[in-house]
Amino acid sequence: MTWNIWGHTLSEMEDWIVKNGFPKFRAKQIQDYLYRRYIFSFDDMKQLPGPMRDWLKENAQLVKPEIMSQIQSTDGDTTKLLLKLADGSLVETVCMHHVYGNSICVSTQVGCAMGCIFCASTRNGLERNLDAGEILAQVYAFRELYDAPIHSIVLMGAGEPLTNYENALRFIRLCNDPGLLNISLRNITLSTCGIVPQIYRLAEEGLPITLAISLHAPNDTIRNRILPSSRNFKIEDVVKAAHHYFKTTGRRVTFEYILIKDVNGSKENAEELCRLVGKMNCHFNLIPINGTEHIQLFPPSWKEVKAFQDILEKNGKSTTVRRQMGDEIQAACGQLKRRYLKNGD
């Protein structure tokens, strides 16, 4: 049986190489070809002896996703890729080009079971989990395209990372591995709908990553409408888990709050939100909704967004209003995939 050599740490590669009778240093050469030089053909790994290259072709495989669609925003700030995996599954990944470096948003599942009303990824439900190597391949698709430094990673694409816990955590550790991306754990953000038991579990991992929680409402009534999966966990328990994460890790939690006109963006909603989190040290990322073709939901006016933000800040809360990037290239979760399946482009 062939071994997939993609998505392994140097020590894992060394163990496999040595077990199969080759010198340990050959593992580092293979890692450099894959993750530094983006050479994916064994024939082109010229530092390896010919017999070893022939052996690798017989006993190893390198499954690389195919780029099916690539679009870039007119301002050049956002690029989105649609990737086809080995089994034919399609996943999206986005690169946001900031002045301080590239930020890559990765998907952790094919489809999603969470049912968020504003997200196109959930329309057909969950198909399967991605393994850590498939998530890592999304990042390297951009590395290969741009050969530019990656500043940060956000697990905020299609899927719920905390219901694909082991693969999501392995991916994070691979990103931090000096032999691969060597990205600081503090520059990695995991976004969750609020899977309460897994938030407590994550707090004990000892990883100083940023936790972002999709709150989106000040009470259960509104939240259950926006995020149907939230019926499994009361909003007070989600906030309590977030507070535990902060106390355990020392890392301030970000609450994602999508603003939808006439749904959750009133001044009364803002006041209730302040009462919900109390004096907790947290940050609010306010996100005017990016509409998709399958919903009729719209963002509040800028005046309403600013009024909402002002109330939070007057109550001592740190806030940002997310800069909208990639609207015209359908950068929100699932939009490009749906267009490709519908139109073939």
- Residues recognised as catalytic: 92, 333
pLDDT for res 88: 94
Nearest to 120, CA basis, from 339, 333, 276: 333
In this predicted structure, which of 201-205, 274-278, 332-336 has the lowest mean pLDDT? Answer: 332-336
Residue 89's φ and ψ, nearest 5 degrees, are -65, 150
Domain ranges for the chain, please list them. 3-61, 66-343
Rounded mean pLDDT of 6-15?
95
According to DSSP, the β-strands at 150-155 and 126-129 are: unpaired
Tell me: the pLDDT tens digits for 37-64?
A: 999 999 999 999 999 999 999 999 998 8
Q: Which residues pair with 92 in a beta bridge?
A: 82
Token representation of residue 161: 């990372």
Residue 35 has pLDDT above 70, yes or no: yes
Domains 3-61 and 66-343 share a fold: no
For residue 105, which phi and psi values (nearest 5 degrees)?
A: -105, 120
Q: What is the pLDDT of residue 222?
A: 96
Residue type, 199: I
Task: Name the residue with higher pLDDT: 296 or 260.
Answer: 260
Tokens of 62: 């390198």
pLDDT band, residue 230 (cuts 50/70/90)? confident
Q: What is the SS3 assignment for 280?
A: coil
Q: What pLDDT shows up at residue 340?
A: 43
Least confident span in 26-35, 40-49, 120-129, 319-328: 319-328
Q: Are 163 and 113 in contact (CB under 8 A)?
A: yes
State yes or no: pLDDT of 326 exceeds 50. no
pTM: 0.90
The pLDDT assigned to 343 comes to 55
Q: Mean pLDDT across the stretch 68-96?
A: 92
Q: pLDDT tens-digit profile of 244-264?
A: 999 999 999 999 999 999 999
pLDDT, tens digit, 9 for 90 and up, residues 138-170: 999 998 888 778 999 999 999 999 999 999 999
Quick check: helix, strand or coil at residue 110?
strand
38-47, 96-105, 237-246, 273-282: which range is least confident on average?
A: 96-105
Least confident of 104-108, 213-217, 225-229, 329-333: 329-333
286 - beta bridge partners?
257, 321
- What do you get for the CA distance between the two ends of the chain, in Å? 36
Beta strands in 115-252 (DSSP E): 126-129, 150-155, 188-192, 210-214
- Asked whether the predicted pLDDT for residue 338 surpasses 60, the reply is no
Q: Cα Rg for the chain, rounded, in angstroms?
A: 21
Q: Is the pLDDT of residue 1 over 90?
A: no
Query: pLDDT grade, residue 208 (50/70/90)?
Result: very high
Q: Which two tokens stand for residue 17?
A: 């190489």
Cα dihedral sign, 192-197-199-204 = negative
Q: Cβ(148)–Cβ(288) under 8 Å?
A: no
For 66-343, give the CATH class.
alpha beta
The dihedrals phi and psi of 263, each to the nearest 5 degrees, come to -120, -55
pLDDT for residue 229: 84
What is the Cα–Cα distance from 223 to 218, expressed in whole angstroms?
7
- Measured in residues, the chain has a length of 345
The single-letter DSSP state of residue 130 is P
User: Which CATH entry fits the domain spanning 3-61: 3.50.50.60, 2.40.37.10, 3.40.50.150, 1.10.150.530?
Assistant: 1.10.150.530
